[in-house]
Structure 1
Amino acid sequence: MPPPRKAVTGTGSSEDALTESGVRFTRQRKILLDLIDKSGDHLDAERLYQMAKVTDPKLNRVTVYRTLKLLKEGGLVDELDLMHQAGEQHFYETRRKQEHAHVICLSCGKVEEYFGEPLQKLRRQIESLFAFQIVLARTEVGGYCSHCQAMRAREMREAAEDLSV
């Protein structure tokens, strides 16, 4: 796996990022990379296809899948499974310089991103402890968001009330 590269965000155009990564620039690749980079969300291939068709109605699913594979191999995007909340479905985001954790609600599927010093500290500890040079790290944390915690608590109360009746 290639080392992490610069994220597209804040470093220039998607055309520059494609060229720097050694991936040939095409209109379809630019469309998909821009969608992933600017969405602020974790998009799957089908959603990317639907969004890209608005810009390029001639675009087909096969092109989307091939392009995602190429962007991943070029180090421009990361493919995520997000705790397998959607089965074997994968999601895509622009590869970033700053490591972050994905905090995923196991009930509703909401995904938050956490950027913080504890991740950098963990990285340094692992590198020191194992004399290991980390080039890529992914962290996923599964749990329940505040809304789903409240819903689960209410369901438990209602179930307990039903049993006591």
Structure 2
Amino acid sequence: MVAYDKIKSNLKKMGYKLTPQRRNILNVILEHEGEHLSTLEIYDLVKKDCPEIGLATVYRTLQLFEDIDIINRQNFDDGCNRYELADPEQDHQHHHLICISCGKVSEMEDDLLEELEQEVKIKKGFEIINHKLKFFGYCEDCSNKMKRNGKKNV
């Protein structure tokens, strides 16, 4: 598990120990890579292997992991923060497609904004280092379901 070893090494370099609680939280995040888990979802999954862990410990660990760029926090306007593994090789975070019907979140890996970023730099002299983009709409399943039921996408 290359990511695990790299993260463990980075924690050590920064002066942090990989405590059993942090290890369990990290394992859950790695096991659910590509998903966008909330704090409570992570807590519930961690409690299966580490029943003594407290919710406050999960919150503190997620904050630490975010501060040292192990994870990215996302807000999909659903009332809670969600987390995903950070990719240190990526210049920008990827885009998210959020279904307003079923809540499904999918990722758009292509960076579609490079040309726009260059235009902003040229016209405004503004050096963009990152961006977050969320598209809200209907996923293919929900869209097809609405079409079958004779409803228009609103």
Q: Could you list the per-position Cα deviations for residues 85-122 of structure 1 after superposition, in whole angstroms to 9, with x for gaps in the alignment?
A: x3x21100122232310111111111111111423333
Moved more, 107-116 or 146-155: 146-155
Alpha carbons 2:70, 2:85 under 8 Å: kept: yes
Q: Distance in 2 between matches of 1:126 and 1:10?
A: 35
Q: 1:6-155 alignment to 2 at 5 Å?
A: 10=3, 12-20=5-13, 22=14, 24-25=16-17, 26-40=19-33, 41-82=35-76, 84=77, 86=78, 88-96=79-87, 97-98=89-90, 99=92, 100-155=94-149
Alpha carbons 1:17, 1:76 under 8 Å: kept: no
Alpha carbons 1:76, 1:95 under 8 Å: kept: yes
Q: Distance in 2 between matches of 1:48 and 1:104?
A: 20
Q: Which runs of 5+ in 2 are unaligned?
A: none
Q: What code does the residue aligned with 1:48 have? A: I
Choose between structure 1 and 2: higher helix proportion: 1
Structural RMSD (CA): 2.4
Shift of 1:16: 1.6
Q: Which runs of 5+ in 1 are unaligned?
A: 1-7, 158-165
CA 1:34–1:11 in 2, change beyond 3 Å: closer, same or farther? closer
Shift of 1:137: 1.6
Aligned-pair identity in percent equals 27
Q: What code does the residue aligned with 2:82 have? A: F
If you compute each CA radius of gyration, which structure gives the higher value, 1 or 2? 1
Higher relative contact order (CA 8 A, sep 6+): 1
Shift of 1:17: 3.0
* SS of match in other structure, 1:63: helix
